[in-house]
Amino acid sequence: MDTKELLKKVRKIEIKTRRLSDHIFGGEYHSTFKGRGMTFSEVRQYQYGDDVRSIDWNVTARYNEPHVKVFEEERELTMMLVVDFSGSKLFGTINQFKIEIVTEIAATLAFSATQNNDKIGLILFSDEVELYIPPKKGRFHVLRIIRELIEFEPKSKLTNVTEALKFLSNVMKKKAIVFVLSDFIADDYQNTLKIASGRHDVTGIRVYDKREEEIPNLGMVQMEDEETGESILVNTSSKKVRQNYHKFYQDQVEYFKDSFAKSGAGVIDCRVDESYVKKLLGYFKKRG
């Protein structure tokens, strides 16, 4: 992709997602994700209606008139976007690939965080961590994240959610707001997720295509696994084949939901032909 085309795509995503974050998600994000507590701001003279419990008795004695301590919310937070960049990101049968929806969701979340002066970082992973962008503030930093989501080429097409969560725990020592965006066609990440969720506020956003849920009856079909590259001939007219695939897929979905529930983490299911705006807004309002 040449530079001109890349900038055009970045700008298009910025316009769409920034409008959403400005008019819809900014306030919801702020009320959903709280700061680390209250920090001392200043001492001022007592005013009618002030809480007597906030009186600073030392200052009051010094000036011989009541003064109160004023506190404000320690608002600054860090958001980490942990994005699955394995081969399955390019699957899509209705208008858009999964990675295009993931990019829009990530950009919307990032601009919402920027509105609240929070830092945003990015981890792109396959079966290893492919790219790490340390958390920073500001619009230009968010635009860099969007550029990477559009043009980055991973070395591997495989998936390992555990490796991404281990890396997250190693680089983020302080509590962060973490969104893991993936189709979660993976397993054996429950224990690592529990550790990450014990330290951070984690939400899993499962982005999927409805054609992934079951195989239609199309007769003999040549299929290729996007992650392994393996190509096999599948008899989709076989009811047993379709049932086995559907069971495999449902097991993956149940493992995702069960793992996040046991870890105390949040979940959002987002199909590519559904409105991610409604899904995010509903999640924020429920948590707020």
Q: How far apart are CA 251 and CA 164, in angstroms?
A: 22
Strand positions, DSSP E, 61-212? 67-73, 78-84, 119-125, 129-136, 177-182, 201-208
CA distances from 276 to 33, 95, 283, 284 (A): 19, 14, 10, 12
β-pair partners for 129: 125
Q: How far apart are CA 266 and CA 142, in angstroms?
A: 24
Domain ranges within the chain, ordered by starting residue: 3-32+77-287, 38-73
Q: Yes or no: say if 98 and 91 are a contact pair by the CB < 8 Å rule.
A: yes
Q: What is the pLDDT at residue 93?
A: 55
What pTM does this model have?
0.79
Phi, psi of 40 (to 5 degrees): -65, 135
Q: What is the pLDDT at residue 41?
A: 65
Q: What is the pLDDT at residue 8?
A: 83
Strand positions, DSSP E, the chain? 38-45, 67-73, 78-84, 119-125, 129-136, 177-182, 201-208, 220-224, 231-235, 266-271
Q: What is the pLDDT at residue 40?
A: 60
- Strand arrangement, sheet containing 266-271: 129-136, 119-125, 78-84, 177-182, 201-208, 266-271
Q: What is the pLDDT at residue 39?
A: 56
Phi, psi of 33 (to 5 degrees): -110, 110
In CATH, 3-32+77-287 is 3.30.1370.60: no
CA distances from 69 to 35, 42, 213 (A): 19, 6, 57
Q: What is the pLDDT at residue 91?
A: 62
| Tokens at 187, concatenated | 């397993």
Q: Which residue in the block uniquely carries the two structure tokens 């959403």?
A: 20
Q: Yes or no: say if 209 and 93 are a contact pair by the CB < 8 Å rule.
A: yes
| Tokens at 262, concatenated | 């046991």
pLDDT in tens, the chain (288 residues): 667 787 788 888 888 888 777 766 666 776 677 655 555 667 888 888 888 888 899 988 988 999 988 765 555 789 999 999 987 765 655 567 888 999 999 999 999 888 888 899 999 999 999 999 999 999 999 999 999 999 999 999 899 999 999 999 999 988 999 999 999 999 899 999 999 999 999 999 999 988 888 887 788 777 766 666 677 788 778 888 888 888 999 999 999 999 999 999 999 999 998 889 889 988 988 886
Q: What is the pLDDT at residue 52?
A: 83
